[in-house]
Structures are given as structure tokens and as C-alpha cells.
Chains A and B, each alone.
Chain A
Amino acid sequence: MTVANAPVPISGGVEVAPRRRPLPGLAKYLGLTPFAIYVLIFLAIPTTLAVVTGFFTEDGQFTFDNIAGLFAPNVLATFGSSFWISAVSAVIGAVVGALVCYAMLGTRSEGALRTIVDSVSSVLAQFGGVMLAFAFIATIGVQGLITVYLKNTFGVDIFSNGIWLYQVPGLLLPYIYFQVPLMVITFMPALEGLKPQWAEANATLGGTRFTYWTRIAAPVLAPSFFGSLLLLFANAFSSYATAAALISQGSQIVPLQIRSALVSETVLGRENMAGALALGMIVVMVIVMWGYSVLQSKTSRWQK
């Protein structure tokens, strides 16, 4: 890479100056328009529409009815289920994921182990959805590998209290299954940011491994850990595909309630209810992601 090491030319030099701005002011900005228009049509407008429709009736009259509908007991219960499943799966995912990151500490980042773990994590964290639901039906479904094994070997029937796989508790295992890999992807850089010098300083000053972890590593890693925890929460909260594939009917969590509102064409004004639900989700997501970015900015100074 000889180019990379080439000395930086005096870019503000007199000779170069006339060539540097060949694009006149306006033409320069024209280059930004395709992206701006694209983002406007397919991100800004849909997001605005999704949020704003909640404030209107089917006939276009302004109303707070849909927003008030968010506080109906059944909708609140749905938000409660979403919170519950997201929080539990995020905490378990974060702890297990952090353990995996810890186990990989000290391995070469270009080594085969890390490359494979990274790729597997990316696949399971981003790709899962419907296929993850299939995998869990094959594992702990009524005829699943583990279900049948437990029944035949130990006489344990995991569904003795009813088939919970197709209910909200059934989402927990598949959700943890995609939360752990996401934690591995997001938390690994922070853990790698621990500098060996800190451990040496700790040892020179007479500290033990215990003081190293409690006094140095834990405070440094805490913002990143809780930031990743929030990201995991947001990830589970907004996840739709796995739930949709497992739970074919009903609206047990918020994304499924949006589905029911969108799909049921018979009830008038339901689309506007979908808008109100979307607004509710965005409010939660913005708060969570804001917390994430605050914690993340506290993390980044250790990673330089």
C-alpha cells in the first residue's frame, strides 16, 4: 500500500487551489439529491405517515381517539408482554453473550475461531426470523427433537401444562437465540478495548485479578454493557418475523397487534389504529436508542 503511506500534499496550495473546486456550488449539491429524494420518499414519508395516521380517523378528521386507544387495557397488556419478553431476553442474551465475548478474549481477531463465531453470530442475529421459528418448532415443538427425547428418556412432558411454544413464553427461547449473537457482535469491540497496560499497572501496584475486574474492567465496560443491553431490548421489541411465524393468530405482542390492525380489512379505521401503535413503538424505540447512544458515546473514548 504505497499510496497509503504517500506524504500528504499541501492541499491548500496555490497551484492546486483552482482545481480543487471544479464543481460550482450548486452542481455540487446536485450530487446529493438522488440520495436525499430516495430517503425522503422511502424513509421520511413512510415514517411520518406511520406516526401521523394515528391522529386521524378513516375520513381524515383529526382525532385523539386512536392515541387514547393506546391506553385501553388490552393494548397496555400487549405493550406489557412486549416489554416483558424484550427485557428478559435482553438480560439473558447480554449475560450469555458477554460470557462468550470473555471466552474469546485473547484469541487472535483474524483467527479461524473468531471469524467463524463472528459469521455465525451475524447470521443468527440478522437472518433468523421465520427460519428460527422453524428450527424451534423442530426442536421443542410437539414432535420436536428435544421434546421427544425428554419424553422418551426421562418421561418429562414439557407441554404438560399446555403447548406454550405458540404463546408469548414460547418466544423467549428463540428470542434469546438471536439476542446472544447480537451481544457477541456489539460487545466484543468494547472488551477488546481493555488495554493490557491497565492489567500490568494493576499487577505492579499489587492488585489481584479480582481487583482488576472490579476496579478497572467493570467500570470501563459498564457503559458499553448497558448500552448493548438497550440495543438488545430494542432489537427484541421491534422483532416481528419470528413471532409472526410462531403465532399465526392473535396479537400477543405489539408488532403482532400492528399486523392484526393492518390485515383486518373488515373493521373500519383499524389502519389508523396501526398508526397509533406505530407511534407508541417509535416512542419506546427513540427513548431506548437515545439511551444507547448516550452510553455508546461514553464507551467510545476507551476504544481509541
Chain B
Amino acid sequence: MSSNQVRIGAEPGTLARTVILAIVGVVFAVPIVALIEFSFRSGLSGGYTLEHWISLFAPENARTYRDLFQSIGNSFILAVVTVAIVLVILLPTMILVHIQFPKLRRVLEFICIIPITVPAIVLVVGLAPVYSVVVKVFGGSIWTLAFAYGITVLPYAYRSIQANLDAIPVVTLSEAARSLGAGWVAVLWRVLLPNLRRGVLAASFITVAVVLGEFTIASLLNRRNLQTALLQVSQSDPWVAAILAVLALALAFVLLLIIGRLGSVGRNQSEK
């Protein structure tokens, strides 16, 4: 900002900034570039081709990749159900605790942070017996895995929603609406949710990104999702695995870029 003045603060000079960011940027780009390069290789001998990209989307190969596409479909089903769990179970609880039980806020925060300390690889040891019961109650279809995913996304979803809750005067808004005669449903639906839109959207996107990237639980509970299918297909057709990895990374990047924009728009507004 003050490049011509004598720099007294912590900020680096333009040269230092450019050098650091350029070196780290290039080093971190290499594996991604290599992954993209690999997806265009025609074989072990060298030479490039579009063949793998075309064949993945060619209708006549639909049968070959049917399992793969089904697993991708599974991941999207899981993403939708997990978002629903976040919106139906976590969000109302957070609003309720925020308004009615201020003393429980720390407890709720603690619970939502636990999944960082209890990693998925530990959770899955205890989830196996739980899921033998879940399968009896709900059947063995893929969406039940979303119950476990709802837990793994708790820290991320909590953080996104809580940041928004802290930024708006929830108690004031709900009391204003109540004193004007609104019922609780109206308060929630017409007053609070529109104000929480940004946090809810961010929580949903981060949930989708985490679910699409989840491997541990699906793999060890023998369920099929995008990541387990990627690993499986990489044994026989590494090019297809590379293409899908590139696409999945790109999708996650776009989702998180949107979250970033949502966040910065929020910061602008609250500062004014």
C-alpha cells in the first residue's frame, strides 16, 4: 500500500512478495499440471492424445463406465442428503441455541469441533457396528452414509453458519418480529433465514466439497462413492481416474471460490 514510503510495518516489499508467491505457486502447480498432462498421454511410450477425454464421454462407452458414473451419482446423492441434514438438524439447533440457550453456545461449539479430534479413521471403527443397525432400519441404500458425513462436516458447517449468526443481531431481529406479531415459523422463515442466507450457502457448499472428497468412511464401510470408484478405476484405467480427479478438483475450486466471494461480500457490508 505504501510502497514509496519507508516501510515501518510488517508488510513485505513488492519484490519479496512476488518472489515468495511465485516460487510457492509454481511448485504447487507442478503436481496439478502433471495430473493434467498425464490425462492427455496416449500411453507409456509418450505422445499426446484427446482420446481418453473423448472416450470417457462417448455414449458407446456408457456401459464400460456405468459403475463409475453410478458412483459419481452416489456422491451427489450423498452431498444432497448431507446438506439436508445440515439444514434440517444443525441449522435450527444453532438458531435455537443462539436465541434461547446462550449458555449452551460453548457446549454446541465444543460438540461441533469434536470431529476434528476424532478423525474419520477412528470414527469408522465404531461406525461399523452402528451401521449394521442402520442397515436393518433404513436398508442398505447409499444415502444412509450421509448420516456419518453429516458428522464429518460439522466443524466446517458450524463455522460458516456461526460466523453469519455472530454478524447479525439475531435476538433483536427475532424479538422485533415477535413483537410485531409474527409466529416462530414466520420469524425463522421470513426474518432469520434471509439474513443467514450467506452463511447457509457457504455451509452448503463446503458440505458438498467435503462430501465429494470423502474417501475414508466410504472405503472402510464398503460403500461406493466418487473417491472409492476413482481409486478402483485407477487400477485399470489411470487416465480416466486422472481426468475425473482434474474435474473434481476444478469443481471443488469453483465451489470454494463462490464461498470466498460470499464471505468477502459479507465483510464489505458489515463494515459499512
A155 on the interface (CB 8 Å rule)?
no
CA distance A131 to B230 in the complex (A): 8
CB-CB under 8 A for A127 and B122, given A28-B100, A200-B8: no
CB B121 to nearest CB in A, in angstroms, measures 4
B193 on the interface (CB 8 Å rule)?
no
Would B172 and A103 count as touching, CB distance under 8 A? no
Chain A 92-103: CB-based contact to B (< 8 A → 1; otherwise 0)? 000010011011
CB-CB under 8 A for A282 and B122, given A1-B269, A42-B150: yes
CB B13 to nearest CB in A, in angstroms, measures 10
B20 on the interface (CB 8 Å rule)?
yes
CB B109 to nearest CB in A, in angstroms, measures 11
A135 contact from B10, B34, B173, B178, Cβ within 8 A = B34
Would A39 and B111 count as touching, CB distance under 8 A? yes
Which residues in A have their C-beta under 8 angstroms from that of B253? 119-120, 123
CB-CB under 8 A for A20 and B8, given A32-B97, A177-B31, A281-B121: no
B130 contact from A34, A42, A145, A259, Cβ within 8 A = A42
Would A134 and B171 count as touching, CB distance under 8 A? no
Residue from the set A43, A47, A48, A119 with the largest chain B CB neighbour count within 10 Å: A43
- Among residues of A, the one whose C-beta sits closest to the C-beta of B97 is A32
- Among residues of B, the one whose C-beta sits closest to the C-beta of A202 is B8
Which residues in A have their C-beta under 8 angstroms from that of B120? 238, 240
Would A240 and B125 count as touching, CB distance under 8 A? no
Count of residues in B whose CB is under 8 Å from the partner chain:
100
Would A240 and B216 count as touching, CB distance under 8 A? yes
Which residues in A have their C-beta under 8 angstroms from that of B26? none
CA distance A35 to B156 in the complex (A): 16
CA distance A15 to B269 in the complex (A): 33
B84 on the interface (CB 8 Å rule)?
no
Would B215 and A43 count as touching, CB distance under 8 A? no
Which residues in B have their C-beta under 8 angstroms from that of A222? none
Would A145 and B128 count as touching, CB distance under 8 A? no
Would A43 and B114 count as touching, CB distance under 8 A? yes
B117 on the interface (CB 8 Å rule)?
yes
Q: How many A residues are at the interface, by size bracket?
A: 35 or more
Would A96 and B24 count as touching, CB distance under 8 A? yes
CA distance A101 to B1 in the complex (A): 16
Would A134 and B121 count as touching, CB distance under 8 A? no
Per DSSP, chain A at the interface is helix
A59 on the interface (CB 8 Å rule)?
no
Which residues in A have their C-beta under 8 angstroms from that of B195? 3
Which residues in A have their C-beta under 8 angstroms from that of B256? 118-119, 122-123
Residue from the set A4, A19, A127 with the largest chain B CB neighbour count within 10 Å: A127
Would B268 and A110 count as touching, CB distance under 8 A? yes
A144 contact from B34, B121, B150, Cβ within 8 A = B34
Would A100 and B20 count as touching, CB distance under 8 A? yes
CB B99 to nearest CB in A, in angstroms, measures 10
Which residues in B have their C-beta under 8 angstroms from that of A234? 116-117
Which residues in B have their C-beta under 8 angstroms from that of A41? 130, 147
- Among residues of A, the one whose C-beta sits closest to the C-beta of B44 is A143
CA distance A134 to B245 in the complex (A): 8
- Among residues of B, the one whose C-beta sits closest to the C-beta of A117 is B21
Chain B 242-272: CB-based contact to A (< 8 A → 1; otherwise 0)? 1001001100110011011100100111101
CB B115 to nearest CB in A, in angstroms, measures 7
A49 on the interface (CB 8 Å rule)?
yes
CB B39 to nearest CB in A, in angstroms, measures 8
A6 contact from B16, B117, B176, B184, Cβ within 8 A = B176
CB B53 to nearest CB in A, in angstroms, measures 15
Which residues in B have their C-beta under 8 angstroms from that of A285? 117-119, 122
Which residues in A have their C-beta under 8 angstroms from that of B128? 262, 271
Chain A contact residues, CB within 8 Å of chain B: 1, 3-4, 6, 8-9, 11, 15-16, 19-20, 22-23, 28, 31-32, 34-35, 38-39, 41-43, 45-51, 53, 96, 99-100, 102-107, 109-110, 113, 115-116, 118-120, 122-124, 126-132, 134-139, 143-146, 177, 180, 191, 194, 196, 199-200, 202-203, 209, 212-213, 217, 234, 237-241, 244-245, 255, 258-259, 262-263, 271, 274-275, 278, 281-282, 285-286, 289
Chain B contact residues, CB within 8 Å of chain A: 1, 7-12, 16-17, 20-21, 24, 28, 30-35, 37-38, 44, 85, 88-90, 92-93, 96-97, 100-101, 104, 111, 114-130, 147-148, 150-151, 154, 156, 168-169, 171-173, 175-176, 178-179, 184, 195, 206, 209-210, 212-213, 215-216, 219-220, 227, 230-231, 234, 238, 241-242, 245, 248-249, 252-253, 256-257, 259-261, 264, 267-270, 272
Q: List 15 A-B contacts (CB under 8 A).
A: A9-B176, A38-B85, A38-B147, A49-B125, A49-B130, A109-B264, A116-B260, A118-B260, A119-B259, A131-B230, A139-B30, A143-B44, A180-B24, A241-B216, A289-B116
- Contacts A106-B1, A139-B35, A262-B128 aside, 16 further interface pairs with beta carbons under 8 A come to A32-B93, A32-B97, A39-B151, A51-B126, A110-B268, A122-B256, A123-B256, A137-B238, A139-B31, A143-B44, A144-B34, A146-B34, A234-B117, A238-B120, A255-B121, A271-B128
